[in-house]
Amino acid sequence: MAPLALLLVALCTLDAEEKFASAEMRARTGAIERAPMSFRAAGLYWRGEGAARIRVSADAAHWTAWLDAPVEYDVDGFHASDVISFGRPARYLHVEAPGGEVRVVVIDPGDTEDAGRRAPLGRSAETPRIVSRADWGCTPEACAASSPPSYTTVTHLVVHHSAGNNTAADWAAVVRSIWILHVRGNGWNDIGYNYLIDPNGVLYEGRAGGDGVLGAHFSGVNSGTMGVCVMGTYSTVAATEAALEALRALLVWQAAKWKIDPGGRSLHASSGLELNHISGHRDAGLSPRATSTTECPGNAVYAALPQLRRDVRALAEGSCPLRIDRSYRCASAEAQTLDAAVTLPEGCTLDVRSRAAWISAATEQGMTRLALQSNPDAVRAGTVAVNGQTISIAQAAAGQPAPPCVDFRGVVSAAFDERPVVPGALISLIGENLASTEAKADTWPDELDGVSVRVNGWPIPLVYVSPSQINAQLPAATNTGSNRLQVISNGAASPERLFWVTEAVPSILAVDGAAASGSTIGVYLTGAGSPSLPRAATPGVITAWESVEGLAGVMRAGVRLPDSLTPGEYELAITIGGVTSSPALIRVPSP
């Protein structure tokens, strides 16, 4: 990292001067600092808790609004933001950034000819159309690398946001700004992401080197990953459909290239975590090897990842989609046979292969039959591949019964929403052997009828247990991103599982009151998250918001329906932090 002094950074070449201008300065609490050059974007580096803030001015009299700069990663002991763009056509000269001394890299990325150019997308597993580095202004002469690229075998695809503006007249200039910040501010060899996507759905080549080039994007545990940045901030707003379409096309292509099951999960060796093959940046945070934690890719994009995985898998499978009803199984130590129901369209081929010597796999009458040898030793785990998808089997140690078993996607909201769960909300655990009998409680104990659930090693409150389902409350202090979960049932512990947490995923539990034009109805929901997040109802307006006594994690929204609502059926949905609930059907009767 460059020294903390006012420093005009040397430009790559004279020909690239207009598009690659940057300088470094310091901003101190209570002081208005003049930059050594005019600029349109900046990146911040600071120490201390929480986000940094910045505002800028062209004349030290008229200022932009204060802009928050959340922590995106750590660099040499400093928290670092990603690029903050201040827009066009203004060029700024003055900086104010309170909260102690802040290192600021100011950037002028220049202008792009034909900035509105769009590269059309490919389809299926074809290579999407990509704006090359040269086309966004990063020729080998302008962006000379300080060292050759390194390469990795990709096992996981990681999604990011840039935490910058969601609108820009020149997105190629934003890409150049990110390159400048990553190389001149962070001291990296190249831009950190392998690919970038703008809100118009244009896909840009990121780090140079081609397939498998190792990026710098996953909190220091980058081996085995490909990183794609959806440019913009998606903490409280959803990504555009054009950006998501481009993201799907890129992930289909990359999953096919690296023979990755888009809907599966496996060990990511660098982090030591069993991660979804399509993950978010924040998922690295639980790893002790990670260099930082982050909210990236933002609540709205993170909550969209489960559907994205399903979409990408469906596109990859084409006309032969495979469904496995129970893809995670737990067994006792004795020799036995397990049947896994699979669904595949007629005329499609089923390929079943065991990846463990103690499991034999075969297909009989549409059923995948797994024959397990007896286990003479300690707990063991194995997998069976079915058309590229995975069935995971955990077998108990010698002499032990089958342990509690949480399904592959078995940690969901109490409304059975398969998106990430939310701190403080009601959750349900789905699986087998979870309890010996059914039991309920009114007092939310940490243990109920010999059953407890631990999240990151700590017990959580329970309200209901049964052999196939547990209802509990996720603590409000639970970290977003990856978390560990384990069920202990009558002394037997389940295999430890990862599950995923985000800031808000509203899930409607029930609706009460008579729906009519101009009437107010009650909507009960879980997964509302922080009360500071923006929320809205469609159709209607939220007029009341309150917790429900006796139901931890449940909120009641009063929704006033439009005066213009005519008789008929309507889908009512609640949106919080850019994430929309599944709709609840309401019916307005005829008068």
- Asked if 275 and 181 sit in the same domain, the reply is yes
Give a yes or no: residue 140 inside a domain: no
**Terminal-to-terminal C-alpha distance of the chain:** 71
Pick from 207, 170, 169: nearest CA to 186: 207
Give a yes or no: residue 302 inside a domain: yes
Structure tokens at 261: 């099951």
Give a yes or no: residue 132 inside a domain: no
Segments in 133-240 forming alpha helices (H): 171-180
Q: How many CB atoms lie within 10 A of CB 331?
A: 22
* 59 exposure class (CB count in 10 Å sphere: 0-12, 13-18, 19+): exposed
Residue appearing with tokens 């803030």: 53
Pick from 48, 51, 2, 53: nearest CA to 25: 2
- Asked if 170 and 269 sit in the same domain, the reply is yes
The domain boundary residue, chosen from 283, 317, 351: 317
Report, in this order, helix, strand and coil percent for the chain, each rounded to 5: 10, 40, 50
Question: What span, in angstroms and rounded, lies between the C-alpha atoms of 373 and 88?
Answer: 67
The domain boundary residue, chosen from 443, 466, 501: 501
Question: What span, in angstroms and rounded, lies between the C-alpha atoms of 554 and 62?
Answer: 45
- Asked if 461 and 415 sit in the same domain, the reply is yes
Backbone angles phi and psi of 324, in degrees to 5: -110, 120
Which residues form the domain of 424? 405-501
- pTM of the full structure: 0.92
Question: What span, in angstroms and rounded, lies between the C-alpha atoms of 571 and 72?
Answer: 37
Q: How many residues does the chain have?
A: 591
Cα angle 421, 422, 423; round to 5: 130
The whole-number pLDDT of residue 298 equals 95
- Asked if 497 and 512 sit in the same domain, the reply is no
- Asked if 286 and 165 sit in the same domain, the reply is yes
Pick from 228, 8, 208: nearest CA to 108: 8
Question: What span, in angstroms and rounded, lies between the C-alpha atoms of 99 and 539?
Answer: 42
Question: What span, in angstroms and rounded, lies between the C-alpha atoms of 255 and 276?
Answer: 13
Number of separate domains in the chain: 5
Give a yes or no: residue 129 inside a domain: no
CA 543 centroid distance within chain? 31
Q: Is 306 helix (H, G, I), strand (E, B) or coil?
A: helix
- Asked if 252 and 309 sit in the same domain, the reply is yes
The whole-number pLDDT of residue 120 equals 52
Residue appearing with tokens 């704006």: 131
Q: What Cα–Cα distance (Å) separates residue 548 from each residue in 131, 356, 372?
A: 51, 49, 48
* 449 exposure class (CB count in 10 Å sphere: 0-12, 13-18, 19+): middle
Residues 39-57, buried b or exposed e (16+ Cβ, 10 A)? bbbbbbbbeeeebbbbbbb
- Per-residue pLDDT of the chain in tens (591 residues, 90 and over written 9): 333 222 223 223 324 456 789 999 988 777 888 999 999 999 999 988 878 888 999 998 999 888 888 888 888 889 999 898 887 667 888 888 776 778 999 999 988 877 555 555 555 567 899 999 999 999 998 998 888 999 999 999 999 999 888 999 899 999 999 999 999 999 999 999 999 999 999 999 999 999 999 999 999 999 999 999 999 999 999 999 999 999 999 999 999 999 999 999 999 999 999 999 999 999 999 999 999 889 999 999 999 999 999 999 999 999 999 999 888 999 999 999 999 889 999 889 889 999 999 999 988 776 789 999 999 999 999 999 999 999 999 999 999 999 999 987 789 998 999 999 999 999 999 999 999 999 999 899 999 999 999 999 999 999 999 999 999 999 999 999 999 999 999 899 999 999 999 999 999 999 999 999 999 999 999 999 999 999 999 999 999 999 998 888 899 999 999 999 999 999 999 999 999 999 999 999 988
- Asked if 378 and 345 sit in the same domain, the reply is yes
Half-sphere exposure of 358 (CA within 13 A, CB side): 19
Give a yes or no: residue 115 inside a domain: no
Question: What span, in angstroms and rounded, lies between the C-alpha atoms of 259 and 319?
Answer: 18
Q: Is 166 helix (H, G, I), strand (E, B) or coil?
A: coil
- Asked if 480 and 517 sit in the same domain, the reply is no
Give a yes or no: residue 201 inside a domain: yes
- Asked if 492 and 514 sit in the same domain, the reply is no
- Asked if 306 and 176 sit in the same domain, the reply is yes
Which helix (H) or strand (E) is 359 found in, with range? strand 359-364
CATH code, domain with 52: 2.60.120
Who's near 188: CB < 8 A, 6+ residues apart? 182, 216
Question: What does the DSSP assignment read for 73-127?
Answer: EEETTEEE---EE--SS--EEEEE--SS-EEEEEEE----TTTT-------TTSP
- Asked if 199 and 306 sit in the same domain, the reply is yes
- Asked if 180 and 33 sit in the same domain, the reply is no
Residues 255-274, buried b or exposed e (16+ Cβ, 10 A)? bbebebbbbbbbebebbebe
Give a yes or no: residue 351 inside a domain: yes
Q: What Cα–Cα distance (Å) separates residue 350 from each residue in 264, 344, 346, 356, 382?
A: 17, 8, 10, 19, 20
Dihedral of CA 368/335/484/447: which sign?
A: positive
Cα angle 487, 447, 333; round to 5: 35
Q: Is 577 left (phi over 0), alpha (psi -120 to 50) or beta?
A: left
CATH code, domain with 311: 3.40.80.10
Q: Yes or no: say if 432 and 467 are a contact pair by the CB < 8 Å rule.
A: yes
CATH code, domain with 448: 2.60.40.10
The domain boundary residue, chosen from 256, 289, 317: 317
Structure tokens at 550: 């006796």
Who's near 365: CB < 8 A, 6+ residues apart? none
CATH code, domain with 364: 2.60.40
Q: Yes or no: say if 74 and 80 are a contact pair by the CB < 8 Å rule.
A: yes
Give a yes or no: residue 138 inside a domain: no
Residue appearing with tokens 């078995």: 410
